[in-house]
Amino acid sequence: MEFRNLIVALAGKDEEIKLIVTAMQLTTRLEAQLIVLHVRHPGAGKPHMLMDAPDAAEEEELRGLIRKAGYPEQADTVPIRIVEGDTYHERIAEATGSADLMIVGHSRRNAFMDALVNSVDEKVTNVAQCPVMVVPRG
């Protein structure tokens, strides 16, 4: 299988620098195309009575992270898709239909949460239509 179309899913957080570097290095080595995907929660940026509002990353913030990771030229040219949805893994998995490889990050939660629910990256691997590479964050 050839890996020509890669997608990296970003939440827009500083802890994703390693994920960005990995995706950029892989894109270069494979001479592939890369698309950055961000899933925005419908309530992003809006206050909610019971919890903090989900972050609302904008395209320029994602490009800023790519620059911070050391890729200023790519930051200006890489396609960025921002889609809306409250089930992150499903929206990410939908994008895998046009990809040869999905690259996602993983950050460990506490043991209690791990016992209760799967992380987003685990959920993506269960429904993805292409291979998934999981990069530990940090």
What number is the average pLDDT over the span 1-12? 92
- CA distance linking residue 130 with residue 96, whole number of Å: 6
Across the chain, mean pLDDT equals 84
| pTM greater than 0.75 (yes/no) | yes
* CATH number of the domain that residue 104 is part of: 3.40.50.620
Please choose, from the candidates 63, 13, 67, the residue with its C-alpha nearest in 3D space to the C-alpha of residue 36.
63
What number is the average pLDDT over the span 17-32? 97
Domain count, the chain: 1
What number is the average pLDDT over the span 57-79? 96
- CA distance linking residue 27 with residue 21, whole number of Å: 10
Query: What was the pLDDT predicted at 117?
Result: 45
> Cβ–Cβ contacts within 10 Å for residue 25, how many?
11
- Percent of the chain at pLDDT > 90 equals 50
DSSP 2-34: ---EEEEE----GGGHHHHHHHHHHHHHHT-EE
The range of the structural domain enclosing residue 89 comes to 5-136
What number is the average pLDDT over the span 89-117? 72
**pLDDT surpasses 60 at 66:** yes
User: Confidence band (pLDDT; 50, 70, 90) for 78?
Assistant: very high
Between 2 and 126, name the one with better pLDDT.
2
- CA distance linking residue 71 with residue 64, whole number of Å: 10
Q: Give tens-digit pLDDT for 36-55.
A: 999 887 766 666 555 555 56
